Structure 1
Amino acid sequence: MPRTDAGVELAGVSVRYGSAKQPVTVLDSVDLRVGAGEFVVLVGPSGCGKTTLLRVIAGFARPDSGSALVGGAAPRPGRGAGVVFQQPRLFPWRTVGGNLGFALARHGVPRSQRPGRIAELLERVGLPGMAGRRTWELSGGQQQRVALARALAAEPGLLLMDEPFSALDALTRERLQEEVRSLAGRLGTTVVFVTHSVEEAVLLGSRVLVMAAGPGRVVEDLPVPLPRDPGTGVPELRASPEFARLRGHLTEALRPA
């Protein structure tokens, strides 16, 4: 099971790019707390620093000022967090099982245990029996499921997702939204999810953080008091008055001033 201590805490995090003479501030004094088991969604205009914030939490980027902690320690790439990108980024020369086996090997899983773990991961993301398939034989949605399985290979307590469904067709996107929502609930995984879609934010998040551009900062922290039990389907959520209210609120909050 995933770790249960995968809370995130950012205090005064600022990130600047460019030269010392002409720095560009991407994030400006961001304070953020994500409790273990929360599903927090980041929304905001392009260029507001959502992906940069995710990179700081993953340990791929270091803040120029302030501090970042995951599970009480400084984040390090590949340690404690699974990351799913907008594109699957699978190894095309490996099978589905080979991609997952590579991830398991990196995390120290003995060779004898890998076939069982691969089968378990594929079952978990709805791709049973597909370990022998080539990645180029899969649809875009299936490839993204493999990417999710790879991120779950180390049983992370924290899952970071950067617009993972934006390139998919509407039907596949809806199916994966429901699966990720259900999966995170069953495993108790902490999730930080980046999207441009207001509807996706309300559907998935237990909280939605609205970011403003120029430079990036959190301007609103919106709780989403919708049912999160697996028995409540996505169609029922979308049809609820509360869903419509939250979607309208976020849409208004993201309008340019």
Structure 2
Amino acid sequence: MPRTDPASGGTPAGTAAEEQLAVDLAGVSVRYGPAKQPVTVLDAVDLRVRAGEFVVLVGPSGCGKTTLLRVIAGFVRPASGTALVRGAAPRPGRGAGVVFQQPRLFPWRTVGGNLGFALARHGVPRSQRPGRIAELLERVGLPGMGGRRTWELSGGQQQRVALARALAAEPELLLMDEPFAALDALTRERLQEEVRSLAGRLGTTVLFVTHSVEEAVLLGSRVLVMAAGPGRVVTDLAVPLPRDPDTDVAGLRSSAEFARLRGLLAGALLPA
């Protein structure tokens, strides 16, 4: 699917700095079910994501958004095509942090215990873990809460802990599957702004799944619209909004350019 790369000023994608590709999918198809009657979930998807991009996936339920993330995370192998993350085949737990729709924290561990478990799995020495836990909690806006039980936290706080856990391995790639869908509107807006700012400060490459047009425009430097039957990318929309971590997000939401882009994306999501 031809497109221009907004990160390179309109240069055709793939013609410069190939080593900067964080994700490179070529002709990726995924099929489920019995071999005699397989269901094609993704059909020949091509996708290139440059390091530092924030790419949002939108589309109707069942179009393969989550499956696409699972391929990139290494949880699902394509039936055909190739998937590369920073030039290598994706492997679970290596190189990508994953945040799910539900926090999936260990309820028998404290907040610090959940983060300590993640740090231990990634080989961080025990002596360094307290400092890293404090740093992670500060990063997601939960300073000093390492001793709290997870069931004592609000839904938004639990999701922040899940984000901190994903950041524990200092991933260059962050995969987020509708992480704010179950939150109330005010908490969702607050976390949108925090994730947007955090990604900008850290330079993390993010792939983010949502059903919200407004969330997609606010967060993404690019938005991919997917269609179902079978899943495929039908629109690749560049979002030329300010990405500086100190951007006035409230002003951005009320700007004419934000409204224009939101209208373009809403139109792209209408059935053909």
TM-score bucket of the superposed structures, by smaller chain: over 0.9
Q: Superposition RMSD on alpha carbons, in Å?
A: 3.6
Unaligned runs of 5+ in 2: 6-21
Gaps of 5+ in 1: none
Q: For residues 168 and 4 of structure 2, what CA distance do their matches in structure 1 show?
A: 16
Measured after TM superposition, the shift of residue 204 of structure 1 is 0.1
Q: Does structure 1 residue 45 correspond to structure 2 residue 60? A: yes
Per the alignment, do residues 181 and 53 of structure 1 end up closer, same or farther by CA in structure 2, a change over 3 Å counting?
same
The residue number in structure 1 matching 2:145 is 130
| 1:141 Cα deviation after fit | 0.1
What's the CA shift for 1:170? 0.3
1:2, CA displacement in angstroms?
Answer: 30
Aligned 8 A contact 1:27 1:216 in 2: yes
Aligned residues: 256
Cα offset for 1:252? 1.1
Deviations 1:37-91 (A, max 9, x none): 0000000000000000000000000000000000100000000000000000000
Higher relative contact order (CA 8 A, sep 6+): 1
Structure 2 residue 194 is the aligned partner of structure 1 residue 182 = no
Whole-Å separation in 1 of the counterparts to 2:3 and 2:257: 32
Q: Cα distance 1:2–1:219, how it changes in 2: closer, same or farther (>3 A)?
A: closer
How far residue 144 of structure 1 moved from its aligned partner, in angstroms, is 0.1
C-alpha distance in 2 between matches for 1:255 and 1:3: 21
When residues 2 and 72 of structure 1 are mapped into structure 2, their CA distance, relative to the original with a 3 A threshold, is farther
CA distance in 1 between counterparts of 2:268 and 2:116 reads 43
Aligned partner of residue 173 in structure 1, secondary structure: helix
Offset from partner CA, 1:158-215 (integer Å, 9 cap, x none): 0000000000000000000000000000000000000000000000000000001100
CA contact (8 A) 1:97 1:131 kept: yes
The SS at the match of 1:14 is strand
Say whether the 8 Å CA contact 1:38–1:191 is kept in structure 2.
Answer: yes
Residue among 97, 101, 111 paired with 1:86:
101
* C-alpha contact 1:40 1:193 (8 A) present in aligned 2: yes
In 2 relative to 1, CA 32–3 (structure 1 residues): closer, same or farther, beyond 3 Å? Answer: closer
Judge conservation of contact 2:227–2:234 (CA < 8 Å) in 1: yes
Distance 2:57 2:141 in 1: 26
Structure 1 distance, partners of 2:92, 2:2, is: 17
Percent identity over the alignment is 90
- Asked if structure 2 preserves the Cα contact closer than 8 Å seen for 1:2 and 1:156, the reply is no
Whether the 8 Å CA contact 2:62–2:228 is kept in 1: the answer is yes
- Name the structure 1 match of 2:17: none
Q: Which runs of 4+ in 1 moved over 6 A?
A: 1-5
8 Å contact kept, 2:3–2:236: no
- 1: CA distance, partners of 2:57 / 2:201: 22
Q: Deviations over 1:67-120 (max 9, x none)?
A: 000010000000000000000000000000000000000000000000000000
- 1: distance between equivalents of 2:65 and 2:220? 15
Q: Is the 8 A contact 1:81 1:156 kept in 2?
A: yes
Cα distance in 1 between the residues matched to 2:129 and 2:102: 25
The 1:109–1:4 alpha-carbon spacing in structure 2 relative to 1, beyond 3 Å, is farther
Q: Comparing 89-98 with 244-253, which one deviates more in the overlay?
A: 244-253
Give how far 1:231 is off: 2.2
Could you tell which deviates more after superposition, 232-241 or 172-181? 232-241
